[in-house]
Amino acid sequence: MKKIALLLAAGAFSLSTMQAWAADKVTLQLKWVTQAQFAGYYVAKDKGFYKEEDIDIEIKPGGPDVAPAQVLAGGGADVVLDWMPSALATREKGVALVNIAQPFKSSGMMLTCRKDSGISTPADFKGKTLGVWFFGNEYPFLSWMSKLGIKTDGSAEGVKVLKQGFNVDPILQKQADCVSTMTYNEYWQIIDAGLSADDLITFKYEDEGVATLEDGIYVLEDKLKDEAFQDKMVRFVRASMKGWKYAEKNPDEAADIVLENDASGAQTEKHQKRMMGEIAKLTAGSNGALAEADYKRTVATLLSAGSDPVITKEPTGAWTSMITDKALK
């Protein structure tokens, strides 16, 4: 009996020790499917950067039917990636998202148009059909049209908005004169489909002065009241940014890591390596901390949407540096 008691005590001690040493679970919800857009997180997992920070990471791919903010609000994730226009609009509607880090410094969003449509400047958009993504991705576009003074009602002096699926078929089939593309993804899908760069003209949101912040890291405001959660996010952000900087310096290896994590098998080596090269241009210059000037520029763009603004008032509490101040010191 004494021997059994000793064995039970030893087992209980081992279990408690294992629990004490167990890594903290963090579930990350991506904005889209597994691709090099999220390479930094997969690299951090593959290289053991999360493990070094005692983080047990689960990365959940997104898709056309996944709304990160809803997943977060429903308890399906601890942290999500989102574009700031969508996040701020969601916050104003009652889901208190807070930006805790910003790995992407620049926007990759642009409109890609066929030259044979007669478009050479934004003034030529009038009377044309423009493909636009929705589900929160339409906000930067609407702000841009408002800035240009172009209505989106389909009138002769306005533009007809085609609700674009997450593909480039409308421009290939001439259903739209322009479509929404990212510098690192859909633009190259058009090229791969047979149109050449000489057939196209692009309008980058960065160049047009209406760029907004993309792919920020967001959590629920209430969670930040918990010091244990704060500590977990400090370690998560630190490991994530280590992953991003490694990916920037080793783009081909980062793309290979993404491909290894693509359970769908839909991605190709050529596309992911090309994508990673473009993504590195967008994360360059960011150490993960949100620059207040970039935040203010995004808010100003969103508030300028005329009679149909993305947000109706200046947000308060929509971002914090409390995590990056500790993670990046």
Encode the chain (329 residues) as per-residue pLDDT tens digits: 555 544 444 454 444 444 446 899 999 999 999 999 999 999 999 999 999 999 999 999 999 889 999 999 999 999 999 999 889 999 999 999 999 999 999 999 999 999 999 999 999 999 999 999 887 678 789 888 988 999 999 998 999 999 998 889 999 999 999 999 999 999 999 999 999 999 999 999 999 988 999 999 999 999 999 999 999 999 999 999 999 999 999 999 999 999 999 999 889 999 999 999 999 999 999 999 999 999 999 998 888 766 567 788 999 999 999 999 999 98
Angle (nearest 5°) at CA 134 between 133 and 135: 135
Report the predicted TM-score, pTM, of the whole model to 2 decimal places.
0.87
Does residue 227 share a domain with residue 87? yes
Domain that holds residue 49: 23-106+213-327
Query: How many domains would you assign to the chain?
Result: 2
Query: Looking at the domain assignment, is residue 176 inside a domain?
Result: yes
Does residue 219 share a domain with residue 93? yes
Query: Looking at the domain assignment, is residue 81 inside a domain?
Result: yes
Last residue of a domain, one of 179, 204, 229: 204
- Look up the CATH number of the domain holding residue 192: 3.40.190.10
Last residue of a domain, one of 140, 175, 204: 204
Query: Looking at the domain assignment, is residue 43 inside a domain?
Result: yes
- Which stretches does DSSP call E strand in 205-298? 216-220
Does residue 123 share a domain with residue 92? no
Angle (nearest 5°) at CA 75 between 88 and 100: 40
Strands 79-82 and 24-29: parallel
Kindly give, in sequence order, each residue whose CB lies less than 8 Å from that of residue 111, ignoring residues fewer than 6 positions away: 130, 141, 178, 179, 180, 181, 202, 203
Query: Looking at the domain assignment, is residue 6 inside a domain?
Result: no
Query: Looking at the domain assignment, is residue 3 inside a domain?
Result: no
Query: Looking at the domain assignment, is residue 296 inside a domain?
Result: yes
Number of H helices, E strands in the chain: 13, 10
Beta bridge partners of 109: 182
Query: Looking at the domain assignment, is residue 13 inside a domain?
Result: no
Does residue 282 share a domain with residue 270? yes
Does residue 236 share a domain with residue 172? no
Does residue 226 share a domain with residue 320? yes
Does residue 219 share a domain with residue 323? yes
Per-residue three-class SS string for 82-120: ECHHHHHHHHHCCCCEEEEEECCCCCCEEEEEEHHHCCC
Does residue 126 share a domain with residue 95? no
Provide the pLDDT for residue 70.
95
Q: Which amino acid is at 19?
A: Q
Query: Looking at the domain assignment, is residue 78 inside a domain?
Result: yes
- 191 contacts 168 by C-beta, under 8 angstroms: no
Does residue 31 share a domain with residue 63? yes
Does residue 177 share a domain with residue 227? no
Q: How far is CA 117 from CA 110, 178, 231, in A?
A: 17, 9, 53
Last residue of a domain, one of 186, 204, 222: 204
Does residue 222 share a domain with residue 79? yes
Does residue 263 share a domain with residue 123? no
